[in-house]
Amino acid sequence: MIRSVLVIGSGTMGHGIAEVSAIAGYNVYLSDISKDILDNAMQKIKWSLEKLYEKGNLKESVENVLGRIKTIIGLPNELREIDISIEAIPEKLDLKRQLFSKLEELLPNSAILATNTSSLPITEIAMAVKKQERVIGTHFFNPPVLMQLVEIIRGSKTSDETVKQTYEFIKSLGKRPIIVNKDVPGFVVNRILLRIITTACMLIENGVCDYTTVDAVARYKLGFPMGVFELVDYTGVDVNYYVSSAMIERGFKAYPCRTLEEMTKKGYLGVKTGKGFYTYPSNKYIKPNLPPQLAEKLNPLYIIAPAIIEANWMVKNGIASREDIDLGVRLGLSFPKGIFDYEREYGRENVVKALEELKKISNMEEYLSE
Ligand code: NAI
């Protein structure tokens, strides 16, 4: 039974994970490398709790919840009561491995060692410890307080018991966990998303259409909350470039997008720099204006078919269930429906036909195969 939670790293993700854990009633230890960083994290948590309270979304006082979070600099030797640790330090394998081997020394043998990594294989992080069966991925989405989805990822040695306990823990936070049975690059949600982004990029680089057409189709025909390139701008052109390159390096067969690389080099990083595919005066996000008639210029299947094939590949290879993949895209990407709903609506035959056309355009046979 989980009572005490240790969150390591109090940055963008860590402070949010600590907050949701404290709201759910757990005793939380929040660790980082300096007092200033921790003070800043606690300020953000307080601000967020006050907002929740004002909206009537907090059952107790802000002070009560804050009282359950204890900040710690580094990892002292007093952590014998921890039942689960969630690591949210920078995305560097060596750094995470060093930390995990230290955690193994300091925490009780029964504690679950979770990582919030968004792209590193759980199995490779787990290699830093002896009892690898207790290492697992818990991939929260940003911001953890508002996003309901958490991907729970098995490493090759993760035990069923660890999965079960982690699943119950994530549910107790009021989140919706999905199970990813193998730590494939991108897990479930980023695989689907990157399939869409890299294909969209392939279409513009091969002159099939321009980025505004892709975005109009995504918005008006597929019902995505944002266009594909609008989303890239929003989350960071560089972030998308690095994530897709890292996934391709680790064996994800996808079209390598030169446009993202060039824009990253030029510093056109999207909303945060004021210029990406679209421009953002004062570096603030504004919804690009896209005429609906643009959406008539491209077959929507050119965008969604590769994601449908990816989803089928994941089911066939036991990576995730159909239900979990559908839940993942609805909650993680805010799609109006599941990937398999798109497949049903467009029809399998049309999906396969679009895929054959995409293969011809891209001249990449191995890409987009089930
Ligand atoms: P961040 O850079 O905002 O925060 C990392 C924190 O870790 C910093 O406060 C840093 O001082 C601290 N830190 C570094 N070494 C430490 C150590 N040895 N002990 C304790 N604290 C240490 O990073 P962010 O964005 O929160 O990412 C954390 C992890 O979550 C990464 O693995 C990332 O890939 C993953 N992730 C990030 C998402 C995002 O949208 N930012 C979404 C989902 C996952």
Residue of 151, 230, 310, 343 marked catalytic: 151
Active site residue 118: yes
pTM of the predicted protein model: 0.96
The whole-number pLDDT of residue 343 equals 97
| Residue 354 in tokens | 């679009």
131: three-class secondary structure by DSSP: coil
Write b or e for each residue in 183-214: b if 16 or more Cβ atoms lie within 10 A of its Cβ, otherwise e. bbbbbbbbbbbbbbbbbbbbbbeeebbebbbb
The whole-number pLDDT of residue 192 equals 97
Exposed/middle/buried for residue 251 (C-beta within 10 Å: 0-12, 13-18, 19+) = exposed
The whole-number pLDDT of residue 76 equals 87
Q: Are strands 27-32 and 69-73 parallel, antiparallel or unpaired?
A: parallel
Exposed/middle/buried for residue 265 (C-beta within 10 Å: 0-12, 13-18, 19+) = exposed
How far is Cα 231 from Cα 57, in angstroms, rounded to an integer? 28
The whole-number pLDDT of residue 79 equals 87
The whole-number pLDDT of residue 77 equals 81
| Residue 40 in tokens | 């800043």
Sheet holding 69-73, edge to edge: 69-73, 27-32, 4-8, 84-87, 112-115, 135-140, 149-154, 176-180
How large is the angle between the packed helices 228-235 and 237-249, nearest 10 degrees?
100
Residue of 48, 104, 116, 139 marked catalytic: 139
The whole-number pLDDT of residue 370 equals 58
Q: CB within 8 A of 295, min separation 6: which ones?
A: 213, 216, 217, 219, 220, 221
Cross-strand pairs, 344: none
How far is Cα 18 from Cα 41, in angstroms, rounded to an integer? 10
Q: How far is the CA of 88 from the centre of ligand 1 (A)?
A: 4
CB of residue 115 inside a 6 A radius of ligand 1:
no
CB of residue 243 inside a 6 A radius of ligand 1:
no
The whole-number pLDDT of residue 78 equals 75
Active site residue 15: no
Active site residue 151: yes
Per-residue pLDDT of the chain (370 residues; tens, 9 = 90+): 899 999 999 999 999 999 999 999 999 999 999 999 999 999 999 999 999 999 999 999 999 999 999 999 999 887 889 999 999 999 999 999 999 999 999 999 999 999 999 999 999 999 999 999 999 999 999 999 999 999 999 999 999 999 999 999 999 999 999 999 999 999 999 999 999 999 999 999 999 999 999 999 999 999 999 999 999 999 999 999 999 999 999 999 999 999 999 999 999 999 999 999 999 999 999 999 999 999 999 999 999 999 999 999 999 999 999 999 999 999 999 999 999 999 999 999 999 999 999 999 998 765 655 5
Domains of the chain: 4-180 (3.40.50.720), 189-368 (1.10.1040.50)
The whole-number pLDDT of residue 368 equals 58
CB of residue 84 inside a 6 A radius of ligand 1:
no
Q: Which of 163, 150, 190, 179 is nearest to 24 (CA)?
A: 150
Q: How far is the CA of 8 from the centre of ligand 1 (A)?
A: 8
